[in-house]
Amino acid sequence: MAILAALFAFGSRFVGKILTTALGWASTLLFGRVPAKRQYLLVGITFGSVIWIVLLAGVVFPDIGTFLLVFVPDQDIIPEDVIRLVMLAGAAIVPAVIGGLTLMLASPVDRSERRIGESVLRGYPLTVLLAVLLIFLAGLAIVRKAQSLAKGWTDAHVPMAIEPGKYDEVASDLDQALETAGLEVAPKTASAAMSKPAKWLAAVAGGSAGVLVPEKMIQLDGKDLDILIYPMDILISGKPRLVARARAAMASRLTTSAAHLTVSAEAQGIEDRLAALARPETATPDHPARFDDAAAAEFTAIDAQLATLEIPYEEWEVLYRQRLQVERDLRAGAMAGDAVVGADTPGVKHDGALGTLGDLGRLVKAGAGAVIEAAADERTGQMIDRISGPQWRWVGRA
C-alpha cells in the first residue's frame, strides 16, 4: 500500500509539472495576457484536453476509459457498446466546450454571434493540438528524466514567457548570466522537433502568435549541465549543485530581460513597471540608473499595488523578489539585472579613492548614530541644541 501511495504521489507531481508547462504554453501562444480572475478558464481548457484524450481512449478501450474518468473498475453492468457510444459523444462535445471557454476569455464586447461560432469551431483543432502538446511534453519529460537518472542528474524548470521576437535576445542574456556566475556553457541549435508543437499552436492562434515561436531553439551545453530554452519555459538538467547555480543565475537575470516570469495580466504589468524602472532608455552600462526620489515614488506605488493585488501567491512572491532585486541594484549603482545570483554584485565594492570616500561616509554615519544614541534623553538633546543648533539631528538621520 505504501508503494502504491508513493507511486501515486510521484505520478501526481509528474502530471502536475506537465499540465503547468502546457498551461503556460497555451496561455502565451493562444491568449496572451489573461487577468488573474480568468485564469481558471485556462485551467479548464487544459484539463479539458486531458478529458478528451481519456474519452478517445475509452472509445477503443471502454474499461480503461471508465476507470480513468470515474475511478470505478469494470462492473459488467453497462454493455461496452453503450460505453463506447457515450465516450464518442463526449469526445465530440468536449472540443466545443473548450472553444466556448476560449470565448469567455475575450472581453464582453468581442462576444458577438459570429465569434461564438468561430470559437466553438476553433475548439476542435485547439483540443487536438493541446492533446498532442501534452503527449509531447510527457514523452519529452520521460526521456529527459531517464537520461538524468542514468547520469545521476536532476531536473529543474524556470517558467517564463518570452516577448514576441525576443527569443535570441533572451537566450543571449541567459548565456551571459551563466558566464557571469562562472558556469561555462556553449550554445547550440536544439532538435527541430522541439519547436513543432509550439508552431502548431501558433498556427491555430493565428495573428501575431507566430513570432513567439523561434525558427530554431537554443540549447546551452556544459560539463554536467544541459539547458533547453523554450519560448515558455527553461528546462535545466545536470548535477544538482550546477542546476541550483544555473537556476539562480538565470532567474535573477530574467528580471530585466525581455521575458515575463508571471502569467496573469496584472502581474505582467508590474513586471513591465519594474523593468522600466531598472533599465530606462537613458541608462547605459557606464551610467546605470540610480535610486532617486522618482524611483522611490515608483516603488511606493508598486508596493501599494502589491498590497492589494489579487493574484496567486506564487506570482506575488516572484514580483516581490523582483522588486527587491531592482531596488538593490539601483542603490548599488549597478546596471539592474547584471548582478546575477552567484556572482559578485557590481557597483558594491569600490577601490582606490572612491572606496576610501565610501568607507569614510559610513564611519561618519556610524558616528552620528552613536551621538544620537547617547543623546536619547531629552535633557542631553536640548544641551546639544544650545551648543551646536538643531542641525545635528538632521546629520544623524541622513
Rounded CA-CA distance 186/238 in Å is: 15
Quick check: 262 and 315 in contact, CB under 8 A?
yes
Most confident of 111-120, 211-220, 233-242, 385-394: 233-242
Give mean pLDDT, residues 153-161.
86
Which pLDDT score is estimated for 177?
92
| pTM (2 d.p.) | 0.65
pLDDT bucket at 199, cuts 50 / 70 / 90: confident
Which pLDDT score is estimated for 8?
43
Burial label, 132 (beta-carbon count in 10 A; 0-12, 13-18, 19+)? middle
What does pLDDT average to over the chain?
76
> Looking at per-residue confidence, does 205 or 135 come out higher?
135
Give mean pLDDT, residues 97-111.
74
Question: ∠ at Cα 59 (57, 64), nearest 5°?
Answer: 50
Torsion of Cα atoms, 201 then 205 then 208 then 211, to 10°: 0
Which pLDDT score is estimated for 395?
47
Rounded CA-CA distance 28/201 in Å is: 10
DSSP string, 308-328: H--S-HHHHHHHHHHHHHHHH
Per-residue b/e over 362-385, b at no fewer than 16 CB within 10 Å? eeeeeebeeebeebeeeeeeeebe
Most confident of 104-113, 143-152, 221-230, 326-335: 221-230
What is the assigned CATH class of domain 152-197+205-261?
A: alpha beta
Burial label, 156 (beta-carbon count in 10 A; 0-12, 13-18, 19+)? middle
Give mean pLDDT, residues 296-302.
95
Question: Domain extents for the chain?
Answer: 1-149, 152-197+205-261, 262-332, 352-397
> Looking at per-residue confidence, does 13 or 101 come out higher?
101
Residue 85 confidence (pLDDT) above 50: yes
Most confident of 135-139, 215-219, 294-298: 294-298
Question: ∠ at Cα 181 (180, 186), nearest 5°?
Answer: 75
> Looking at per-residue confidence, does 204 or 161 come out higher?
161
Quick check: 143 and 233 in contact, CB under 8 A?
no
Give mean pLDDT, residues 253-277.
90
> Looking at per-residue confidence, does 216 or 320 come out higher?
320
Q: Which amino acid is at 12?
A: S
